[in-house]
Amino acid sequence: MLAGKRILLIIGGGIAAYKALELIRLLRGQGASVTPVLTRAGAEFVTPLSVAALAGEPLHQDLFDLTTEAEMGHIQLSRAADLVVVAPCTADLMAKMAQGHATDLASTLLMATDKRVLIAPAMNVRMWEHPATQRNLATLTGDGILTIGPDIGDMACGEHGPGRMAEPAAILAAIDTALSDGPLKGRHILVTSGPTHEPIDPVRYIANRSSGQQGSALAAALRDLGAQVSFVTGPASTPPPAGVTVIRVDTAQQMLEAVQSALPADAAIFAAAVADWRVKNEAGQKMKKIAGALPTLEFAENPDILATISHHAQRPPLVVGFAAETESVIAHAQAKRLRKGCDWIIANDVSPATGIMGGAENAVHLITADSVEDWPRLPKAEVARRIAARIAATLGPAA
């Protein structure tokens, strides 16, 4: 897929810039060519010589480089590529992109390009979580910019959380997807997955047994058909697939906020097992065991994310819910489809005897406004592929 493709790689200024060197190596190993661009800040982290040597091509650093201007010009430079990749993409670069600045070579190329742009954000966790960065991310997603990562982990600055640049192999997979001509190319699809954790106090929470397997498999299947996937996941035991934008949340309320900020989308699939209730009287400090006294938990109802999005002003054209039932599966699922206002319900029987909850297989029924299809018992990855194929057939090619 990557053979013969040209990637314009913009390396921003962050400690993760060293991983861009590995990315160049991986890309060239797959037969792609890399046109490297190093920002002024990027050059503080990796040397121009290493970048140019690994790329095997001249490095571009200055907006007003007369030789380059005479030979090709920055407009042409931005268009000669099949895809523009920014790795690492700093908070500053994201802000420039969101605002449309053209103050240096990198931001000018990003403004001038007519190709898709994939960013791999990398920054301190506070900078990533800052409302301004999240606002910029929403703007960029709305503009059709693809995102991979950031990952959660220990950071060079000593803090822990989301902000680490995605690993080069994951960026490579996202580049492959972005260049693929799958039937969902150009489509943005939202998937929720996993359980939610509803806190009782700072150390205790209420959870459920969802593993996130079916949600992860769906996200991967949609990615494989070329979709840009925003994967909003609770604390699941199944890792999210590579090549999707992962948004991690704990509670139902956080999941709703994350889903709303990921809109607009062409389709939304709600595979998460969202807690119906949260603890209303969540304790600010760890609750103490007091001899003879038992705590009383009061509950408040959680928002129904599927129903909220089904009635949202920015409702995606296709909204799909799941229904896990233990009796009268089809009748309950049909009623749920109407109650929630979604287009399809994927229903399954989760009675303990079926072994479906937490198991590797699933037997589902696809319930639409006018039909009920009974699918055979299949591995969850195959169920995901069939659902993804059906979504692709329903949405048709992107405009």
Nearer to ligand C5P, 183 or 321 (CB): 321
* Interface with ligand C5P, residue 321, by CB under 6 A: yes
**CA nearest neighbour of 326 among 346, 347, 345, 350:** 350
Asked if 305 is part of the footprint of ligand C5P (rule: CB under 6 A), the reply reads yes
Count helices and strands in the chain by DSSP H and E runs: 14, 21
Shortest Cβ 209–ligand C5P spacing (Å): 14
Beta bridge partners of 374: 365
Of 45 and 322, nearer to ligand C5P (C-beta) is: 322
Q: Which of 117, 246, 274, 329 binds ligand C5P (CB under 6 A)?
A: 274
Active-site residue, selected from the candidate residues 1, 132, 156, 157: 157
Q: Which of 45, 128, 205, 322 binds ligand C5P (CB under 6 A)?
A: 322
- Of 19-27, 78-86, 268-276, 289-297, which segment contacts ligand C5P by CB under 6 A? 268-276
Q: Which residues contact 143 (CB under 8 A, 6 or more apart)?
A: 98
- Residue 343 lies near ligand C5P (rule: CB under 6 A): no
**CB of 300: closest distance to ligand C5P in angstroms?**
12
Q: Does 215 bind ligand C5P (CB under 6 A)?
A: no
With CB under 6 A, what is the number of residues at the site for ligand C5P? 14
* 191 CA to centre of own chain: 9
356 counts as binding ligand C5P under rule CB under 6 A: no
Cis amide leading into 88 (omega within 30): yes
Whole-number Å distance between alpha carbons of 219 and 148: 13
Residue 304 sits in the site that holds ligand C5P (CB under 6 A): yes
Q: Are 375 and 383 in contact (CB under 8 A)?
A: yes
Amino acid in the structure at residue 393: A
Residue whose entry in the numeric block shows the structure tokens 């938990």: 297
Rounded Cα gap, residues 323 and 273, in angstroms: 10
Contacts for 383 with CB less than 8 Å, ≥ 6 apart: 214, 217, 362, 364, 375
Q: How far is the CB of 323 from ligand C5P (least distance, A)?
A: 5
Closest distance of CB 215 from ligand C5P, Å: 9
Sequence-ordered list of residues with C-beta below 8 angstroms from that of 314, at least 6 positions apart, any chain: 263, 264
Q: Per CB under 6 A, which region of 137-145, 283-291, 303-311, 383-391 contacts ligand C5P? A: 303-311
Least distance (Å) between residue 126 CB and ligand C5P: 29
Between 137 and 272, name the residue whose CB sits nearer to ligand C5P: 272
Task: State the minimum distance, in angstroms, from the CB of residue 208 to ligand C5P.
Answer: 10
Residue 302 binds to ligand C5P (criterion: CB under 6 A): yes
Is residue 323 a contact point for ligand C5P (CB under 6 A)?
Answer: yes
Question: What would the DSSP string read from start to end of 268-319?
Answer: EEE--B--SEEETT--SSPPPPBTTB-----EEEPP-HHHHHHT-TT--SEE
Q: Indicate whether 195 belongs to the interface with ligand C5P (CB under 6 A).
A: no
Dump the DSSP string for 64-81.
T-HHHHHHTHHHHHHHSS
Distance of closest approach, residue 349 Cβ to ligand C5P, in angstroms:
13
Would you count residue 198 as binding ligand C5P (CB under 6 A)?
A: no
With binding defined as CB under 6 A, does residue 306 bind ligand C5P?
yes
> Using CB under 6 A, which residues numbered 229 to 258 contact ligand C5P?
252
Closer CB to ligand C5P, 90 or 310, in the complex = 310
Strand, coil or helix: 184: coil
The Cα 248–Cα 90 span in angstroms is 20
Is 157 catalytic? The answer is: yes
Q: Does position 272 bind ligand C5P by CB under 6 A?
A: yes
* Of 142-150, 237-245, 300-308, 384-392: span binding ligand C5P (CB under 6 A): 300-308
* φ and ψ at residue 166, rounded to 5 degrees: -55, 150
Q: Is 307 within 8 Å of 270 (Cβ atoms)?
A: no
User: How far is residue 12 from each of residues 76, 98, 284, measured CA to CA in Å?
Assistant: 21, 16, 40
- The nearer residue to ligand C5P, 41 or 363, going by C-beta atoms, is 363
Q: What's the min distance (Å) between Cβ of 188 and ligand C5P?
A: 19
Q: Which residues bind ligand C5P (CB under 6 A)?
A: 192, 252, 270, 272, 274, 276, 302, 304-306, 321-323, 336
Q: Which residues are catalytic?
A: 157
